[in-house]
């Protein structure tokens, strides 16, 4: 039987009605090809059992593995996931036995099915190349400003009027010392890059894409270095507001910290390691009093604004277009977006 293999390219998203990842659940959760569905032929536990046995007796491991895979494939078929008219692409880790096993059964039944040459590893190689080379085809503008000025809120409103890449939303982190979002775990670095790739494919290269000016790290994740450099080449719009208004906005935006003191304690442990002792003492004193307004104010003065002065945003701000904001809210931002020429660059 001739085995139909294809090389990964961005056209697979329109060429196939179903993309099937047959790897284990944990492999799939770490990263996967966008739009793919997970139908493991060996689940997490089974993969460990067979892997352990393989080290002791490879023949017996292959025999037991084949039995388990056959049983799992029968369950997959009985779920009636595939339609006769589907065009199906299957992949595993490197295009080996796991994907081939399901491919052969579906092919014998009569489904229109193909294998991804090199499996997930070939896809990952494509993503690395994309951020090494293809990213230069995209154009970016940046929204800048110190912590608490409402950059993320601004971009969320701007989405209705221009192309926006929400880096912090994809990273599931607010990009600051208080950036951890309760009950949300950051994705793996690979999945972060996959989701960036998928969003960039949707936005395309014809429109200028607005992003928030970020340090190269968002929480534990790294923005791909060429993307980060490319972000700094376009127009920069810097939002300015008063200290009082920023304090008020942060208290609303991070209100879950006041409801869950343990979250604040974790952030303070990190803060203690990275700022001067006297600055930390002022911040800690206001927190211990339960005076959250003073706490946020001191956090801005003694940490956020000092840290901002060392970032690329502040060092390279001589060409920034400044917008002064009296009130940080949706109404104000919407008015700015509708009346400012900065946000009509895609026309």
Helices and strands, counts by H and E, the chain: 18, 12
Q: Which of 77-91, 279-293, 331-345 has the highest mean pLDDT?
A: 77-91
pLDDT of residue 344 exceeding 80, the answer is no
Q: What is the pLDDT of residue 12?
A: 95
Tokens of residue 177, six digits: 């010392």
Largest CA distance in the chain: 75
Q: Return d(Cα 190, Cα 192) in angstroms, integer.
A: 5
Lowest mean pLDDT: which of 202-206, 238-242, 252-256, 293-297? Answer: 252-256
pLDDT of residue 234 exceeding 90, the answer is yes
- Is there a contact between 210 and 143 (Cβ–Cβ < 8 Å)? yes
194 burial type by CB count under 10 A (0-12 exposed, 13-18 middle, 19+ buried): buried
Q: How far is CA 235 from CA 209, 317, 344, in A?
A: 10, 11, 12
Q: What is the pLDDT of residue 45?
A: 96
Name the percent of the chain lying above pLDDT 70: 95
Mean pLDDT confidence for 273-293: 89
Q: Return d(Cα 127, Cα 228) in angstroms, integer.
A: 16
Comparing 283 with 1, the larger pLDDT belongs to: 283
Q: How confident is the model at residue 309 (pLDDT cuts 50, 70, 90)?
A: confident
Burial pattern 120-153, b for ≥16 Cβ within 10 A else e, equals bebbbebbeebbeebbeebbbbbbbbbbbbbbbb
pLDDT of residue 304 exceeding 80, the answer is yes
Q: How confident is the model at residue 231 (pLDDT cuts 50, 70, 90)?
A: very high
Lowest mean pLDDT: which of 12-26, 62-76, 270-284? Answer: 270-284
- The neighbouring-strand residues paired with 116 are 6
Q: How far is CA 35 from CA 50, 56, 187, 260, in A?
A: 28, 37, 16, 36
Taking all residues of the chain, what is their mean pLDDT, rounded to a whole number?
A: 92
Q: What is the pLDDT of residue 10?
A: 92
Mean pLDDT confidence for 150-167: 96
Phi, psi (deg, nearest 5) at residue 141: -120, 155
pLDDT of residue 151 exceeding 80, the answer is yes
**Computed from CA positions of residues 338, 341, 345, 347, in that sequence, does the dihedral angle turn out positive or negative?**
positive
Name the strand (E) or helix (H) holding 233: none
Q: How confident is the model at residue 315 (pLDDT cuts 50, 70, 90)?
A: low
DSSP notation for 84-107 = TT-EEEEE-SSSSHHHHHHHHHHH
Q: Return d(Cα 300, Cα 292) in angstroms, integer.
A: 12
Q: How far is CA 176 from CA 152, 154, 220, 258, 325, in A?
A: 12, 17, 11, 16, 22
Q: pLDDT (tens digit, 9 = 90+) per residue, 168-188? A: 999 999 877 777 777 789 999
Q: Return d(Cα 192, Cα 210) in angstroms, integer.
A: 18
Q: What is the pLDDT of residue 4?
A: 95
Whether the model pTM is above 0.75: yes
pLDDT of residue 347 exceeding 50, the answer is no
Q: What is the pLDDT of residue 261?
A: 67
Domain annotation for the chain: domains and CATH numbers: 5-128 (3.40.250.10), 137-344 (3.40.50)
């Amino acid at each position: 039987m001739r085995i139909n293999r294809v090389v990964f390219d961005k056209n697979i998203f329109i060429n196939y009605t179903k993309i099937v990842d047959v790897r284990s659940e944990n492999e799939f959760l770490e990263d996967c090809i966008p739009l793919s569905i997970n139908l493991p032929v060996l689940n997490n536990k089974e993969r460990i059992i067979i892997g352990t046995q393989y080290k002791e007796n490879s023949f017996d491991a292959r025999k037991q593995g084949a039995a388990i895979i056959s049983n799992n494939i029968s369950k997959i078929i009985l779920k009636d996931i595939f339609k006769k008219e589907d065009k199906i692409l299957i992949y595993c880790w490197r295009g080996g036995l796991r994907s081939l096993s399901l491919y052969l059964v579906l092919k014998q039944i009569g489904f229109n099915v193909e294998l991804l040459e090199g499996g997930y590893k070939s896809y990952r190689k494509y993503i690395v190349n994309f951020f090494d080379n293809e990213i230069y085809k995209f154009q970016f503008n940046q929204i800048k400003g110190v912590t608490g000025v409402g950059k993320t809120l601004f971009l969320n409103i701007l989405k209705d009027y221009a192309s926006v890449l929400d880096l912090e939303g994809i990273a599931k982190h607010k990009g600051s010392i208080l950036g951890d979002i309760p009950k949300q775990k950051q994705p793996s670095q690979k999945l972060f890059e996959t989701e960036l790739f998928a969003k960039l494919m949707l936005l395309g290269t014809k429109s200028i894409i607005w992003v928030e000016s970020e340090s190269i790290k968002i929480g534990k994740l790294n923005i791909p270095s060429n993307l980060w450099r490319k972000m700094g080449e376009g127009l920069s719009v810097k939002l300015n507001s008063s200290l009082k208004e920023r304090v008020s906005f942060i208290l609303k935006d991070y209100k879950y910290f006041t409801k869950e003191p343990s979250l604040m304690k974790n952030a303070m442990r990190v803060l203690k390691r990275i700022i001067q002792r006297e600055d930390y003492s002022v911040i800690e004193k206001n927190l211990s009093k339960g005076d959250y307004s003073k706490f946020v104010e001191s956090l801005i003065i003694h940490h956020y604004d000092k840290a901002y002065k060392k970032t690329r945003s502040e060092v390279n701000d001589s060409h920034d277009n400044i917008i002064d904001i009296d009130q940080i809210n949706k109404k104000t931002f919407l008015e700015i977006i509708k009346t400012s020429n900065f946000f009509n660059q895609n026309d």
